[in-house]
Amino acid sequence: MINRTNNILFIVHKVISLLERLVRYDTRTNENLPGKEVKDLFEKEIEPLLKKYDFDVEYFESKGHHSILAHRDGIEPSILFNGHVDVVPWDDRWETDPRTLIIDEELGEEIVKGRGVSDMKSGIAALMIALPEIAKSDLSIYFAITGDEEIGGEDGTKIIVDYLARENKLPLYVITADAAGMEIITRRRNVFDIFISSKKSFRKVLGKKEKKIFQTNIVSSLTSHAAYYKKEKDIHCLKEGMIFLQENGYFPVSISGSFVKINVVPDKIELEYIIPSDEGEEHEFDEGLKALLEFGSKVMDISFETQAQSDYGINSTANVIHNEANSWNMEIDIRAMLDKNAEELDGALLLILDEINWDLDMVVKKSIGFIATPDNSPLVESTTNILNELGYPDKSAERGGATDGRFFAKHDIQTIDIGAIGWNVHGPNETSTIKSIVDLVRFFELVPQRLKKYYKN
């Protein structure tokens, strides 16, 4: 008989060793750069494990983004385990090398630090270590692992879902290993990316030129992820800067900041502006920037009807500003319970455009939809039961960020998310607890047999 303590230590060693290797791969993505080591990671770390347990493996590539789909035939219910290996870029606020896994202790608990340990290389590591037990099942099982989730999933999971739909091979259930909290997530809002461009136009005014730095202060969560920003509690540096200008009647000259990407709240901005005064010197300010900032300020307070209730309501954050040769460009992240074809957001944005007396160019990029899986579904009931056995609350939850599970939910497939306990997602010093990663392995090991039981009943 295997001693349980020794068995747990064995799992800890295996999953942390694999996670350490996964973190080393540079899989950063942004809108212009696919993760350069994503395919290497698949070929060296994922594909050999899947083939060892007789899974057929296919590669997909779209616009430089690589994905992998593995399948082994079996009986119903079919299950697809979904995840991604790409990560959000990092900045200089990290205390350690983001690509070196650090094992430490925090608040009396063993933790790991490194980019992706929470979102979501720990989920991939847990799935792969659970693979020997998962493979014992006689169910039809898929693994879909991608490299572009952090920029929307259009060239990863969407490609795979479209392929499975064409082949009439869509699964009955999907579990996405992308979350931070060891809870069954059944509800997530849709994502809308707003891109606004304003032509530069300079005008002279008398006054005094000044500079001021505005800092972000997130107190409602332990993440820089835009989906978790709460305007009632948190301070957003860009919002503060825009309010400062408008309330005082100052004129903007330029703006710079620690901008990362559209769904990451920037840490700080520096605003150069003019305090108007008849006794001051003559300075130029940018009317195009002024109009852009006024638009951004209004959109961060946007309101419209949604298609389903959300505990998080509507999130709207302006997180990136680009200073181009002839224009200022702003990127805004909006989260709401709306599907792709809903018109409520479009109407609200057009009303704001009408209020701004300036020619602004706007592009709205809409993702496919939201997730709302019923609590009484076999998938939710079976997985909450497993969590309860592992010592976690047996209830479902809603979370703010979006995952690639929404591409499956659009086909009315029961979909949930789950992940290890972690914090500082998308921010510096990303962290997860070792215990929860090990528990996540056990969770995945139990899913096939438990879901088969609930499906029959």
pLDDT in tens, 358-391: 999 999 999 999 999 999 999 999 999 999 999 9
Q: With 50 as the cut, is the pLDDT of residue 1 above it?
A: no
| pLDDT tens digit sequence for 171-210 | 999 999 998 799 999 999 999 999 999 999 999 999 999 9
**What is the rounded radius of gyration, in angstroms, for the C-alpha atoms of the chain?**
23
- CA 455, 128, 150, 261 dihedral sign is positive
Percent of the residues in the chain that have a pLDDT greater than 70, as a whole number: 98
Distance of alpha carbon 413 from alpha carbon 424, whole angstroms: 30
- What confidence score (pLDDT) does residue 456 get? 77
Instruction: Summarize the confidence of residues 396-402 as an average pLDDT.
Output: 93
Please tell me the predicted confidence (pLDDT) of residue 133.
97
**Between 142 and 357, whose confidence is greater?**
142
Would you give the distance in Å from CA 81 to the centre of its chain?
Answer: 17
Give percent of the chain above pLDDT 90: 91
Q: Which helix (H) or strand (E) holds 60?
A: strand 56-62
Q: What is the pLDDT of residue 223?
A: 86
Mean pLDDT of 157-181: 96
- The beta-strand segments (E) located in 216-367 are 251-257, 268-276, 281-286, 315-323, 327-336, 360-366
d(CA 123, CA 177): 5
2: pLDDT confidence band, cut at 50, 70 and 90?
very low
| Peptide linkage before 120 cis (omega within 30 of 0) | yes
What domains are there in the chain, each with its CATH number? 4-189+370-456 (3.40.630.10), 191-366 (no CATH)
pLDDT recorded at residue 354: 96
Whether this prediction's pTM lies above 0.85 is answered by yes
Q: What is the pLDDT of residues 17-75, one digit of tens each?
A: 999 999 999 999 977 778 889 999 999 999 999 999 999 999 999 999 999 999 999 99
What local confidence, expressed as pLDDT, does residue 242 receive? 97
* pLDDT score, position 6: 60
Smallest CA-to-CA distance from 193 within 333, 43, 49 is with: 333
Per-residue buried b or exposed e for 415-447, using 16+ beta carbons within 10 Å of the residue's own CB? bbbbbbbbbbbbbbbbbbbbbbbbbbbbbbbbb
Q: 82 and 404 in contact (C-beta within 8 Å)?
A: yes
91-139: pLDDT as tens digits: 899 999 999 999 999 878 999 999 999 999 999 999 999 999 999 999 9
Q: Is 382 helix (H, G, I), strand (E, B) or coil?
A: helix
